[in-house]
Amino acid sequence: MSIREIFPIDKWDFKSQSVLTGLPEDELQVLTAHQTENIYSKGEIIFREGGYPSGIFYIKKGKAKKYKVAREGGEQIIYVANAGELLGFHAVLEGDRYPDSAAALEESLIAFIPKEDFLKVLEQSSELSKRLLKTLSHEFAVVVNSLALFSQHSVRERLALQLVVLREKYKIDFTPGMPVEINLSREDLANLVGTARENIVRTLSEFKAEGIVETRGRKIIVKDVVALIKIADYK
């Protein structure tokens, strides 16, 4: 049974090919002519809110979080980006400062593409324009869904839903019945759910006692995704 039969995962997880996969070779050559690649360690900042963009970032391997920093210093994670996704292009398109910050969630290989090359290809590529529009629409939908989730659901329900979504994002070479390890700190999970770390630890303990999840250090293994979907109570 596909998860899509019982849960609207497409509202949360963007399943598509890489944004750059399949672009015409001449466009790809211009786009990547001056790119540089860097390995970011877990927690390393990719860009900060308020900074001026000089290009975009392409995740080749790993994951990154987009987040806002509150006045008191706490974080609210607004999006988890996977390999194949772009970061920072919103600010380049708007010609403005970064509206949020981004950091690696795990060791990640990320390419930097100068904005001049990005904008040059964008001007001539209808395919890249369509893909970016689709990406923007998806990210906006995730933000809207998250706002509704915070206002209408309990911490237990929100955590259940985010574990369902993260399970999809952490699938690698997945086959039915295969365990999926969610490798995310309790602090990041709390910032994604929008609650205190203590609430996450307590609720995860409840899920463990109910046989829904298993933990190995910071890793979380979902044993009963159907139970999480029922707890989330998300239509």
pLDDT in tens, 192-203: 999 999 999 999
Tokens of 31: 């786009």
Residue 172's pLDDT is 76
Angle 230-148-212 from CA coordinates, rounded to 5°? 25
Residue 143's pLDDT is 76
- Crossing angle for the helix pair 197-209 and 155-169, to the nearest 10 degrees: 80
Residue 38's pLDDT is 97
* pLDDT-derived band at 74, boundaries 50, 70, 90: confident
For residues 53 and 92, is the Cβ–Cβ distance under 8 A?
yes
Q: Flag whether pLDDT at 103 surpasses 70.
A: yes
Regarding the domain delimited by 153-232, which CATH topology (the fold level of the hierarchy) does it fall under? Arc Repressor Mutant, subunit A (1.10.10)
- Which residue ranges does the chain devote to CATH 2.60.120.10? 13-148
Whole-number average pLDDT of the chain? 89
- Which residue ranges does the chain devote to CATH 1.10.10.10? 153-232
Q: Which uninterrupted H or E stretch holds 214?
A: strand 213-216
Q: Flag whether pLDDT at 23 surpasses 80.
A: yes
- Crossing angle for the helix pair 155-169 and 126-152, to the nearest 10 degrees: 150
Class for the domain spanning 13-148: mainly beta
Residue 131's pLDDT is 86
User: What is the mean pLDDT of the segment spanning 147-166?
Assistant: 87
* pLDDT-derived band at 216, boundaries 50, 70, 90: very high
Q: Flag whether pLDDT at 1 surpasses 60.
A: no
